[in-house]
C-alpha cells in the first residue's frame, strides 16, 4: 500500500526549547507524545512525508502546494532566529498531484506563493521528525476555505499520486485544537471549546472519521480551532484503509488544545469509504431541513433553483397564502452553505407588488448578485440552507440604547451612505458590534455622525 500511516500533531512554538526557554515543561506530555509520533513515522520508513499546514499560504478557494526544490525557515518571529530548519521538496510528487487535481478541476496547485519560507506549523513536526532520524523529502500543502468534500478529495489524490509514483508515504496533519478553552488563555473562553476538543479526542482515539467530517460548523467556528481542515485531508488520504488509531496525549494548559495521535494502516478496507458515508449522512440532514421549510423559504428556494438551472424566472405558485400575495414588505434572503454565509441580499422597503414577488427577486439576487461571492452553481444547490426575513418599516431612533441586537436590526445612515445589519446574528453580541459592522457595510467611518434606524423581522427558516 502507498499510504503507510498518518499522525495528527499540534504546533505550539513554545514546544521548541529555544522558544520556550524553560516554559516548555508545562506541556511535557505533548513533547513526549510528539517524540513518540515522530518515531512512529520513522519506523514506517516512508519515502516521503506529506505535511498539511494551517499556517502556510491559505486561500479561500484554492489549495496551495509549495513549489521548488527546497525551503527553509526560522523562528525569528518567536524570538529564536537561531533555530532554523530546512527540507527538500519532492518535485515529482508535487507535479503528479497537481496533474491529478487539474484533471478533476480540484483547485490545487503551486501558483500564488506568498510565503516561500517554511512556516512554524511545518517546522515543528519537521524538527521532531529530523531528530528521530528522518532525512527524506517532504511535500508542504496549505489548507483552504473550501468544504470538507474538497479537502477529503485532495487527501484521496495524495494517496493516488503516491500509488502512481510507487512511493510509500506518511501524512502528517499539523493542527491545534480549540483556542478557547479557558478565560485565562489568549483567546478567552467559549463553551464550544472543550466540547470540540472532546470530540476530536474521541475521533483520534477511535479513528471515527465520520464524526470528524460531520463536526458541526458552528461548533468548530466557536471553538476557534485551526486543525480541522488539516485532519479532513488526512482522512481522505486514509480513505478505504483500515487503521489502528492511538491518542497519545491531549492537554491544554495555555487555553489551546494540543492533541497527538497516530494512525497505522493495517489493510485495505472498502467499508471505510468515509467520504461517501459523510455525504450520505449530510444529504439526509439537508433533506430533513428541507422537509421543515415553510412557504416563505420554499418560495425562495424555488426561485433561485429555477434561475440557476434554467436561467429563467419561476412563476408564483397558485396556492400561496394571502400574507404573501396580499401585502407588500421589504425582505432579505440569506443563503448558507456548510455553516457559512453564501449570500444575502434584500430590500428595506417593498419594491414589488407583493411580498411573494419581493422574495422571488431577492432570492435570485442573494444567489447571483451578492458582490462578496461568486454566483451559486448548480452543484451547490442541494447544499444551500435558506432564511427569509420579512422587515417591519424602519423606525428612526435617537439613541443606541433603543437597540437590542436580538430583537432589532439596525440601519446606519450618513448622507447617501447606508449600512444595514439584521438582528440575531451569530457572533454579534453587543449593540456596539452591530453598529460597527453596519458602519463598515455602509463605508461610514468610525468618527462620522450617524442617523440610526431600527426594525424588526419575522424570520422564516
For 98-107, how does the pLDDT look when each residue is reduced to its tens digit (9 = 90+)? 999 999 999 9
- pLDDT one-digit tens code per residue, 347-358: 999 999 999 999
Q: What is the pLDDT along the chain (461 residues), one digit of tens a residue?
A: 899 999 999 999 999 999 999 999 999 999 999 999 999 999 999 999 999 999 999 999 999 999 999 999 999 999 999 999 999 999 999 999 999 999 999 999 999 998 899 999 999 999 999 999 999 999 999 999 999 999 999 999 999 999 999 999 999 999 999 999 999 988 999 999 999 999 999 999 999 999 999 999 999 999 999 999 999 999 999 999 999 999 999 999 999 999 999 999 999 999 999 999 999 999 999 999 999 999 999 999 999 999 999 999 999 999 999 999 999 999 999 999 988 899 999 999 999 999 999 999 999 999 999 999 999 999 999 999 999 999 999 999 999 999 999 999 999 999 999 999 999 988 898 999 999 999 999 999 999 999 999 999 999 98
For residue 452, give the nearest of 393, 400, 391, 390 by alpha carbon: 400
- The DSSP symbol for 57 reads -
Residue 364: CB partners within 8 Å, gap ≥ 6?
A: 303, 304, 307, 313
Distance between CA atoms of 257 and 250, rounded to whole angstroms? 7
Closest alpha carbon to 424 in 459, 448, 461, 452: 459
**363 bridge partner residues:** none
**What DSSP string describes 65-108?**
B--SSEEEEEEGGGTEEEEEEEEEB-HHHHHHHHHHHHHTT--E
Residue 197 DSSP label = H
DSSP SS3 for 263: strand
Extract the C-alpha cell encoding 177: 485544537
Domains of the chain: 3-274 (3.40.830.10), 293-389 (3.30.700.20), 392-461 (3.30.1490.150)
Query: CA-CA distances (angstroms) from residue 411 to 76, 404, 434?
Result: 46, 13, 10
**How far apart are the C-alpha atoms of 200 and 211, rounded to whole Å?**
9
List the beta strands (DSSP E) in 200-339. 241-251, 258-268, 331-337
pTM of the full structure = 0.90
Lookup: cell for 112: 500564488
The C-alpha angle with vertex 218 and arms to 188 and 125, in degrees rounded to 5, equals 65
Query: How far apart, in whole angstroms, are the C-alpha atoms of residue 227 and residue 225?
Result: 6
Q: What is the pLDDT of residues 117-168, one digit of tens each?
A: 999 999 999 999 999 999 999 999 999 999 999 999 999 999 999 999 999 9
Amino acid at each position: 500500500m502507498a499510504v503507510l500511516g498518518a499522525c495528527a500533531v499540534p504546533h505550539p512554538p513554545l514546544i521548541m526549547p529555544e522558544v520556550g526557554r524553560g516554559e516548555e515543561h508545562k506541556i511535557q506530555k505533548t513533547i513526549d507524545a510528539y517524540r513518540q509520533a515522530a518515531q512512529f513515522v520513522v519506523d514506517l520508513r516512508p519515502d516521503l512525508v506529506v505535511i498539511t499546514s494551517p499556517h502556510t499560504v491559505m486561500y479561500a478557494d484554492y489549495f496551495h502546494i509549495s513549489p521548488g526544490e527546497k525551503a527553509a525557515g526560522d523562528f525569528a518571529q518567536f524570538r529564536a532566529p537561531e533555530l532554523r530548519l530546512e527540507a527538500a521538496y519532492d518535485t515529482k510528487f508535487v507535479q503528479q498531484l497537481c496533474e491529478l487535481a487539474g484533471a478533476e478541476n480540484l483547485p490545487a496547485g503551486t501558483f500564488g506563493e506568498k510565503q516561500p519560507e517554511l512556516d512554524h506549523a511545518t517546522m515543528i513536526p519537521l524538527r521532531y521528525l529530523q531528530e528521530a532520524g528522518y532525512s527524506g523529502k517532504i511535500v508542504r500543502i496549505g489548507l483552504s476555505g473550501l468544504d470538507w468534500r474538497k479537502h477529503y478529495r485532495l487527501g484521496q489524490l495524495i494517496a493516488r499520486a503516491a500509488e502512481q509514483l510507487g512511493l510509500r508515504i506518511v501524512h502528517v496533519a499539523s493542527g491545534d485544537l480549540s483556542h478557547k478553552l479557558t478565560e485565562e488563555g489568549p483567546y478567552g473562553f467559549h463553551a464550544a471549546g472543550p466540547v470540540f476538543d472532546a470530540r476530536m479526542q474521541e475521533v483520534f482515539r477511535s479513528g471515527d472519521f465520520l464524526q470528524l467530517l460531520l463536526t458541526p460548523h458552528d461548533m468548530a467556528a466557536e471553538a476557534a480551532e485551526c486543525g480541522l481542515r488539516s485532519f479532513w485531508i488526512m482522512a481522505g488520504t486514509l480513505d478505504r484503509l483500515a487503521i489502528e488509531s492511538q491518542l497519545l496525549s491531549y492537554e491544554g494548559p495555555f487555553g489551546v488544545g494540543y492533541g497527538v495521535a497516530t494512525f497505522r494502516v493495517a489493510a485495505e478496507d472498502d467499508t471505510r469509504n468515509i467520504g461517501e458515508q459523510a455525504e450520505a449522512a449530510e444529504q439526509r440532514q439537508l433533506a430533513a431541513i428541507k422537509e421543515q421549510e415553510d412557504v416563505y423559504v420554499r418560495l425562495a428556494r424555488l426561485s433561485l433553483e429555477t434561475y440557476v438551472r434554467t436561467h429563467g424566472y419561476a412563476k408564483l405558485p397558485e396556492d400561496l397564502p394571502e400574507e404573501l400575495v396580499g401585502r407588500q414588505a421589504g425582505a432579505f434572503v440569506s443563503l448558507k452553505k456548510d455553516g457559512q454565509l453564501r449570500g444575502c441580499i434584500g430590500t428595506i422597503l417593498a419594491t414589488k407588488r407583493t411580498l411573494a414577488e419581493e422574495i422571488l427577486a431577492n432570492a435570485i439576487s442573494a444567489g447571483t448578485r451578492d458582490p462578496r461571492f461568486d454566483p451559486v452553481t448548480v452543484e451547490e444547490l442541494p447544499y444551500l440552507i435558506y432564511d427569509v426575513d420579512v422587515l417591519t418599516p424602519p423606525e428612526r431612533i435617537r439613541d443606541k440604547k433603543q437597540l437590542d441586537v436580538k430583537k432589532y436590526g439596525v440601519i446606519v445612515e450618513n448622507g447617501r451612505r447606508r449600512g444595514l445589519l439584521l438582528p440575531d446574528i451569530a457572533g454579534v453580541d453587543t449593540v456596539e458590534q452591530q453598529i460597527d459592522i453596519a458602519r463598515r457595510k455602509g463605508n461610514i467611518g468610525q468618527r462620522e455622525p450617524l442617523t440610526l434606524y431600527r426594525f424588526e423581522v419575522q424570520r422564516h427558516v
